[in-house]
């Protein structure tokens, strides 16, 4: 097996950023990307610039502090009555390590990211004064991209491998503060198709439109504009208080949405709690009418993350599911 690692550092605000992938007309038919001198570096470059990998940050980053897209927070008994919140990402460090599998036809690239920024909350304190709480955070995320060899051209070596499948994104708080985690996500389409994910980095979704890869678990969901979707999320938490689960979807600017999921069951395991959440609307129309490659994000946080004024109270876990709208 061959291994190589490439590290890239971005220190700019990433909200709204979208880096296009390898597409027709991008100029890469005739020359290799800058700094790419071999096949391994080419895979690493395209792993970072794959449409799904490139836009995952846009899914989980907020340009500003906003409300949940579900109304008010209801009756509150906490240090803070949150009115708006947002995850503001200030920098992302990326690394890619690629491993060519035996047979020299399949390679798996592990994409790791470290995201730093500020989790901002605007709310009312116990005196009903408006306050803003800034909680610095460092999140980490991982995902895998499968490449398939399609050629052995020594001149245009950067075109010898193409991405054919991606795992889900798994991100969130790093040790020792990762006190909440997603253990299962279920997606139900109106046509009866069901996607059940328990290990996000091992669940591969094929790029069906390429017709180059038959492995993996399922095709990347290809959704019809305006289609309804039911989502069930199972969470394991160390907190005795009900966690918060939001679905992130849409694309850029004013078209990005967050909607809260409702808890439908809770089991006390003696020290940890298993909670199940579902969409709180009937047949919600989640799928927007903008075609392209996107992520649907499941964003879980402890209650203290949003309702406590302690800047160290921050524990989240988020999964990103790629989808394509046509």
CA dihedral of 268, 274, 276, 277, whole degrees rounded to 10: 100
d(CA 15, CA 19): 12
Determine which of 9-13, 223-227, 253-257 has the lowest per-residue pLDDT on average: 9-13
Q: Which positions ≥6 away from 316 have C-beta within 8 Å?
A: 137, 139, 172, 173, 180, 299, 300, 301, 302, 305
Q: Distances from the Cα of 14 to the Cαs of 89, 91, 194, 276, in angstroms?
A: 6, 7, 32, 32
pLDDT band at 48, cuts 50/70/90? confident
pLDDT tens digits, one per residue of 285-304: 455 445 566 667 899 999 99
pLDDT tens digits, one per residue of 135-194: 999 999 999 999 999 999 999 999 999 888 888 889 999 888 899 999 999 887 777 777
Q: Does an H or E element contain 246, and which?
A: strand 244-250
d(CA 274, CA 201): 21
Determine which of 73-77, 114-118, 244-248, 313-317 has the lowest per-residue pLDDT on average: 73-77
Domain limits at 30? 3-325
Q: How many domains does the chain have?
A: 1
């Amino acid at each position: 097996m061959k291994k190589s690692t490439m590290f890239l550092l971005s220190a700019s605000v990433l909200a709204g950023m979208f880096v296009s992938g390898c597409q027709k007309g991008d100029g890469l038919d005739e020359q290799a990307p800058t700094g790419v001198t071999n096949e391994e570096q080419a895979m690493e470059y395209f792993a970072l610039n794959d449409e799904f990998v490139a836009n995952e940050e846009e899914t989980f980053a907020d340009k500003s502090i906003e409300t949940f897209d579900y109304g008010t927070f209801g009756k509150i008994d906490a240090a803070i009555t949150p009115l708006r919140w947002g995850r503001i990402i200030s920098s992302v460090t990326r690394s890619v390590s690629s491993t060519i599998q035996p047979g020299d036809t399949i390679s798996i690239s592990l994409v790791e990211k470290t995201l730093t920024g500020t989790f901002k909350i605007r709310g009312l304190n116990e005196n009903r004064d408006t306050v803003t709480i800034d909680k610095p955070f460092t999140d980490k995320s991982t995902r895998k991209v499968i490449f398939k060899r399609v050629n052995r051209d020594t001149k245009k070596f950067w075109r010898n491998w193409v991405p054919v499948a991606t795992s889900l994104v798994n991100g969130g708080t790093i040790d020792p503060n990762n006190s909440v985690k997603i253990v299962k996500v279920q997606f139900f389409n109106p046509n009866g198709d069901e996607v059940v994910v328990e290990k996000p980095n091992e669940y591969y979704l094929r790029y069906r439109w390429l017709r180059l890869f038959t492995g993996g678990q399922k095709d990347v969901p290809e959704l019809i504009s305006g289609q309804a979707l039911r989502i069930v999320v199972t969470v394991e938490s160390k907190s005795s208080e009900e966690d918060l689960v939001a679905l992130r979807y849409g694309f850029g600017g004013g078209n990005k949405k967050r909607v809260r999921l409702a808890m439908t069951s809770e089991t006390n395991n003696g020290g940890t709690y298993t909670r199940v959440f579902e969409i709180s609307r009937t047949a919600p129309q989640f799928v927007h009418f903008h075609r392209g490659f996107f992520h649907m994000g499941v964003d879980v946080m402890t209650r203290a993350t949003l309702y406590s004024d302690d800047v160290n109270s921050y524990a989240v876990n988020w999964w990103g599911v790629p989808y394509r709208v046509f």
